[in-house]
A and B are shown apart, each in its own frame.
Chain A
């Protein structure tokens, strides 16, 4: 309940603050002295993986700023970056954002935190007509009617699943088994996967769920094995992934396994023994879905460039999946060139232009396909790759 409370309280507190004050400020003119002010929100001091992700996001923003400034800035204006530590806490995020806006309205806000922070901050950004990019999607964050100046950078479960059928075809898998967790994401993933595969003419022979708190998934695996699928599609994060791999190994079941991005994010499989399982028989049949950009083998030259730029500033603590902020800056630069302006509304319009989307030198995703109906990135199947597990190095799997 606590997280939910925070989420809701944060969101509503944001609304209240918006309603309470801050009617004045005119939109448009933006920063002083021709500087283009960019705010990055991130939970730098949050716990564990969250902090690593936030630091990677901030790092990518810094790298993006350097690149943009080196190539003439945004519509000729030099970009100035400010980092706000929101502790991944919506209440803190709202407070700090309000303070920052009171000091002078930023031209662009990059929100690197989870959906809860987005929920809390989006109303304020909308009220102040500030262009923003967002990593953690919410129910309305990509809806242009609700948030006309916000763009979502990440891929949805559906985007990821759409990349599966071509891979099945390539490998000749006709019968698929699905195993997913009982988390809310797992439930959505399981249902969406079955629907997507069915729609693509792939035979889903089994779709099993496991309790994310359970300690042994052998039973579900046996149930799936009895249907004899060609391949197992797996949603798992953390310890359950370990139990599933152990179970498969124990059964002596020799089946190809495709893990989703949650599988890729579990450190157990990118770590060698004794603390991890990388390179053990448990992972020999495993491939996992990642962004093309996070696999060193498949990534484009832009990505190598991004990695180099980021490394120049600092070590990359997490995967490149969260390095979207670099792309956001590149997109804004391209849009500003097209619109010949830094007015947020004009920029937002320009971002819908496929020419701009192609033009922007982005790395994490090759092309962001924002449209008038949806401000989500909607990456195509070509943005994903299926790779064997490997050690994580400089934000990429090797």
Chain B
């Protein structure tokens, strides 16, 4: 316990690094050959699993074609070696590139599909491998395999088996260092955003397709490396080594180890290599054992082994401030007095119309939101509020009309482009990725606006450091602004609803948006939380931000809005100041259900409406 606590205090990467060094030094321990062999295969498998984790665990894509890239790497290295290029470094580089190429080529059509189609297409790709290898049997040796691969060398020196073990270990450790650097960088966070919801990612300005392709293609690299390592390890490769069973082994290892983790790949690979492949006593029952293992593993380990480990670690390290988000409510204390400027832009919606099939959701709607003002959008359910919001954000195409932010027209842009132009939004149900801290969740809002490439992130180059510094500073600023700075290290999804809403606002603000769209932000909040939220909105407005508020909470709207736009049946019903709307009979009767002639006290009815609205929000 004590040790765990102390360790938890220090940098966490020490542990894997120490294990990695231990692994590299294995040849000096005089282990039995069969164990050394298993270790080598487990390392190769963990590289493959790690590649899958990038696309499956981080980007949430069921792309299972790792074996194809593994084969591409292996055959590239094997053919190079056969032609006399035995330097393992050259082979690794070439294999990595070949795999990357296969990744990009198969990713571009594959990722358009998504979900199950993608899973099946990539499985099918694996099934196709032996055929493709057989068709090129002149070079590849067909189904009988590629023989004549020469022993690997490095800088002209022949590698002994011990040397070669170290090569495998160093490559594996190096890849996991790279993987870890990606995972903890802004790219890792962006991938989690993508996995959480492509809609969220797009609304944050992330190009969903490019991001998926990046994860998938990047995941090809370790598979290619693994292929090269395998080819020079056995000096013989055949289609048998790249079959469907390998694909399922990789998938099983990924899920069992925990797809959404860096080191889960190692756990999963070692468990499968040492556990399943060793069970020689069950040979007759090997299929049954494998099947049962997958079922039990899949049922028990929802977060994978690493999920279990993490949970255990948290228990051990309990008491650390990071793990316990204290709900100190001091929005004003930490906020400071000076609020930096939020340069808003003018959002103009003119004559926008949209039909879904025969259902005219919007027709001829106008709306203008200007900097330094809160514009509220109200209307009964089904009146087209959310549709309009989605059209501004670029999720729906307009049938007619113009949407513009300052001078730039948005209606033809994709959602990510709209977001990069300066439209930021929150969601009815807070949309926050799992497994990241409040600070990381907020910093993700700057991902699209301030770029640093993956390579820069992996190598921690100056530009990455600069951007990262900016991310941290800006996160401090906006967290102060919304008043949840004290929770910055808490797990974002663990926050109560009110604070998650504030977190979303902060995530929007960090990108200095031209317009901030708040979609039913107050629903489900208690009075205190609503008040705090209102305070934050006022502060943004006072700082010069353009705020559009879609809201059911009429009281909040009245107290906050400078202008109110009321929709009904997809059409503009009324527009004006809170006073004007409050006195508009049509709004009162259609939206609030108040009969102006009825004697009942409007207060009671209003309260009913408020609770309805709140429940509505929770229900979603």
Contacts and interface: CB of A to CB of B under 8 A. Distances in A.
B280 A13 contact: no
A91 B277 CA distance: 12
B145 A1 contact: no
B466 interface: no
Nearest to B36: A16
A186 B134 CA distance: 12
Contacts of B131: 182, 211
Contacts of B41: 5
B28 interface: no
A175 to B, nearest CB: 25
Contacts of B243: 1
A188 interface: yes
Contacts of A1: 240-241, 243, 245-246, 249
Given A1-B245, A1-B249, A47-B283, A12 B34 contact: yes
Contacts of B234: 8
B613 interface: no
Contacts of A8: 37, 234
A206 B32 CA distance: 52
B493 interface: no
A16 B34 contact: yes
Given A16-B34, A183-B143, A187-B142, A2 B277 contact: yes
Contacts of B570: none
Contacts of B283: 46-47, 87-89
Interface string A121-149: 00000000000000000000000000000
Interface in B50-74: none
A15 interface: yes
B246 A91 contact: no
Interface in A1-58: 1-6, 8-9, 12-13, 15-17, 19-20, 45-47
B27 to A, nearest CB: 13
Interface in B222-240: 234, 238, 240
Interface in B155-213: none
B130 interface: yes
Contact of B33 (A16, A46, A188): A16
A255 interface: no
Interface residues of B, number: 27
B33 A12 contact: yes
A12 B277 CA distance: 16
Contact of B145 (A13, A45, A92, A184): A184
Contacts of A186: 143
Given A89-B280, A89-B283, A16 B32 contact: yes
A390 B145 CA distance: 36
A15 B245 contact: no
Interface string A166-190: 0000000000000000111011100
A4 B243 CA distance: 11
Contact of B37 (A2, A13, A188): A13
Given A9-B34, A87-B283, A92-B280, A187 B143 contact: yes
A186 to B, nearest CB: 8
A217 to B, nearest CB: 16
A354 B143 CA distance: 37
A279 B277 CA distance: 43
A16 to B, nearest CB: 3
Contacts of B280: 6, 87, 89, 91-92
B584 interface: no
Interface residues of A, number: 30
A45 B280 CA distance: 12
A211 B239 CA distance: 14
B328 interface: no
Given A13-B34, A89-B283, A5 B143 contact: no
Contacts of A15: 33
B144 A184 contact: yes
Interface string B7-46: 0000000000000000000000000111001100100000
Given A2-B245, A187-B144, A12 B37 contact: yes
B284 interface: yes
A135 B34 CA distance: 26
Nearest to B239: A184
Interface string A183-200: 110111000000000000
A12 B164 CA distance: 15
A158 to B, nearest CB: 14
A184 B143 contact: yes
Contact of B38 (A9, A45, A188): A9
A18 to B, nearest CB: 10
Nearest to A15: B33
Interface in B94-137: 130-131, 134, 137
Nearest to A45: B284
B240 A182 contact: no
Contacts of A211: 131
Contacts of B33: 12-13, 15-17, 19-20
Interface in A308-324: none
Contact of B143 (A9, A17, A91, A182): A182
B238 A184 contact: yes
A93 to B, nearest CB: 11
Interface string B436-455: 00000000000000000000
Q: Which of B32, B131, B143, B145 has the most CB of A within 10 A?
A: B143
B441 to A, nearest CB: 40
A211 to B, nearest CB: 8
Given A47-B284, A184-B144, A187-B142, A4 B34 contact: no
A15 B32 CA distance: 11
A13 B31 CA distance: 12
Interface string A216-236: 000000000000000000000
Interface string A67-104: 00000000000000000000111011000000000000
Contacts of A89: 280, 283
Interface of B: 32-34, 37-38, 41, 130-131, 134, 137, 142-145, 234, 238, 240-241, 243, 245-246, 249, 277, 280, 283-284, 286
Given A1-B243, A182-B134, A183-B143, 20 more contacts: A1-B246, A2-B277, A4-B240, A9-B37, A12-B33, A13-B33, A13-B37, A16-B32, A17-B33, A19-B33, A46-B284, A47-B284, A87-B283, A89-B283, A182-B143, A184-B143, A184-B240, A187-B142, A188-B144, A211-B131
9 contacts: A1-B241, A1-B249, A2-B245, A3-B240, A4-B240, A20-B32, A184-B144, A187-B134, A187-B137
